[in-house]
């Protein structure tokens, strides 16, 4: 288990010139993790660690991730390596160039250990995969691992790495983070370039880190964020500071009324009240907001996501349908049958909904705190992952609090706030566009407050 933080690892690797030794330890720890790692790239990791030790011997550092062992969801291209997408082996591709996000982590000094399992083509919030099974839940054995960044959540939760990249189109960073009791940071859509990343839904896809702590998630996000001159959606905005400065004076935090929380458990309700009381005691202003209409945006978000996914997969689905699992094939076939006007209407609603949220929520408060899941992650044996209406209802219940955030394009961070006998409870800190820094500031305060109270 990796007990040292990213900062501590980087400092130790630099002063001790022992990235190679640490990498061997990490490789030994992951050797039997066949439900988390889809592929261990040991030779590349060893070569990278050796080069970093050579650099450190001259007194130089590669960057803030010098010698830090990481691993990532199997949807980010690396030149000369197969990107598997969590799919049938025939669907994988040999990458010709390295994705921007991996290249930036490399430049900052990471040692990439390999590929982590994911839901097939990033479609599925439970972590189940028709071809490869489901990664183990590292916080509550037998529970779902969350998807689609299931391996990323499990790898961080198990302490095999301190941070891993995932993607989030409807909750796919935050759900596995919540299920495994770690931090998941979904940035503003357009904050991180998608160059060299498997697409699912062009207008809602984001890339971000899962990490043990808020500080580590913030640091990794600061490394990968910013335009690359290739992705036309990625915006040139103020960078994210790699370190926090504390909760700013005058911060206003919103909490939802009961209208958006129909399925929240009693213990989640109590946890939200506890957090709100703690903020009030600290002098942080809080306000109750009516965001009942957010629940109605889930279907429009799904129409957009599935319509765009159908466009991504149309050719492959027609040519080699056998490479798809039954659930994903069924969902894509249903998506292909959606009328075009439904997609157009959903896009129009998104514009109106964003404007309304900015005015009625973030015109009153700076940040919003809501659950990530209604309660702890459900047990894998209790969920129905079959086709038809059953899977639609399951997905709807799991992404109830996450999918509207993708619909708006806003940033959100999920962090654990309590450990129960059934697993962790997690909440999201949500903000308007480009508010990642203040989100992390409040989340870090919550993290320290929860730890102090534990």
Q: State pLDDT tens for residues 162-219.
A: 999 999 999 999 999 999 999 999 999 999 999 999 999 999 999 999 999 999 999 9
Calculate what percentage of the chain has a pLDDT beyond 70: 97
Residue 451 has pLDDT above 70, yes or no: no
Could you tell me which of 365, 332, 341, 362 has the C-alpha nearest to residue 433? 362
Catalytic residue ranges: 73, 148, 172
Q: Is the model more confident about 134 or about 257?
A: 134
Task: Write down all domains in the chain, each with its CATH number in brackets.
Answer: 6-294+348-453 (3.90.1300.10), 299-337 (no CATH)
Could you tell me which of 89, 102, 78, 359 has the C-alpha nearest to residue 207? 102
Note the pLDDT of residue 185: 99
H runs (alpha helix) in 99-244? 100-107, 150-157, 174-180, 214-224
Residue 389 has pLDDT above 60, yes or no: no
Whether omega for the bond prior to residue 218 falls within 30 degrees of 0, making it cis, is no
Q: State pLDDT tens for residues 229-265.
A: 999 999 999 999 999 989 999 999 999 987 777 779 9
Q: State pLDDT tens for residues 305-356.
A: 999 999 999 999 999 999 999 989 999 999 999 999 999 999 999 999 999 9
Residue 385's pLDDT band (cuts 50, 70, 90): low
Mean pLDDT, residues 393-407: 91
Could you tell me which of 432, 431, 434, 427 has the C-alpha nearest to residue 450? 427
Q: Distance (Å, rounded) from C-alpha 308 to C-alpha 301?
A: 11
């Amino acid at each position: 288990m990796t007990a040292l933080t990213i900062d501590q690892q980087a400092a130790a690797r630099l002063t001790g010139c022992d990235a190679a030794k640490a990498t061997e330890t990490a490789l030994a720890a992951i050797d039997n993790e066949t439900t988390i790692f889809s592929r261990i790239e040991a030779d590349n990791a060893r070569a990278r660690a050796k080069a970093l030790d050579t650099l450190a011997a001259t007194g130089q550092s590669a960057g803030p991730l010098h010698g830090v062992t990481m691993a990532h969801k199997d949807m980010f291209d690396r030149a000369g390596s197969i990107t598997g997408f969590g799919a049938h082996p025939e669907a994988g591709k040999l990458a010709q160039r390295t994705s921007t996000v991996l290249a930036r982590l490399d430049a900052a000094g990471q040692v990439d250990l390999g590929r982590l399992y994911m839901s097939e083509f990033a479609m599925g919030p439970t972590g189940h995969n028709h071809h490869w099974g489901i990664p183990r839940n590292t916080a509550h054995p037998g529970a779902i691992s969350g998807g689609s960044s299931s391996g990323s959540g499990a790898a961080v939760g198990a302490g095999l790495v301190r941070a891993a990249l995932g993607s989030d189109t409807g909750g796919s960073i935050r759900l596995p983070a919540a299920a495994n009791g770690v931090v998941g940071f979904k940035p503003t859509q357009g904050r991180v370039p998608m160059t060299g990343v498997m697409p699912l839904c062009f207008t809602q896809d984001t890339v971000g880190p899962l990490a043990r702590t808020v500080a580590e998630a913030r640091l990794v996000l600061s490394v990968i964020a910013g335009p690359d001159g290739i992705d036309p959606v990625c915006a040139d905005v103020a960078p994210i500071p790699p370190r926090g400065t504390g909760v700013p004076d005058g911060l206003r935090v919103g909490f939802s009324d009961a209208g958006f929380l129909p399925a929240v458990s009693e213990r989640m309700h109590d946890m939200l009240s506890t957090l709100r009381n703690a903020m009030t005691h600290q002098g942080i202003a809080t306000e109750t907001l009516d965001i009942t209409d957010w629940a109605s945006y889930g279907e429009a978000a799904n129409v957009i996501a599935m319509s765009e996914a159908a466009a991504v997969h149309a050719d492959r689905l027609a040519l080699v349908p056998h490479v798809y699992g039954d659930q994903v094939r069924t969902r894509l076939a249903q998506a292909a049958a959606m009328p075009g006007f439904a997609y157009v209407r959903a896009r129009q609603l998104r514009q109106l909904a964003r404007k309304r949220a900015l005015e009625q929520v973030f015109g009153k408060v700076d940040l919003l705190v809501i659950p990530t899941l209604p309660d702890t992650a459900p047990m894998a044996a209790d969920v129905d992952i079959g086709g038809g209406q059953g899977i639609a209802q399951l997905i709807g219940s799991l992404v109830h609090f996450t999918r509207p955030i993708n619909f708006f394009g806003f940033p959100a961070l999920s962090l654990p706030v309590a450990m129960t006998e059934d697993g962790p409870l997690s909440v999201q800190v949500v903000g308007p566009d480009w508010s990642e820094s203040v989100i992390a500031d409040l989340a870090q305060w919550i993290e320290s407050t929860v730890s102090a109270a534990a």
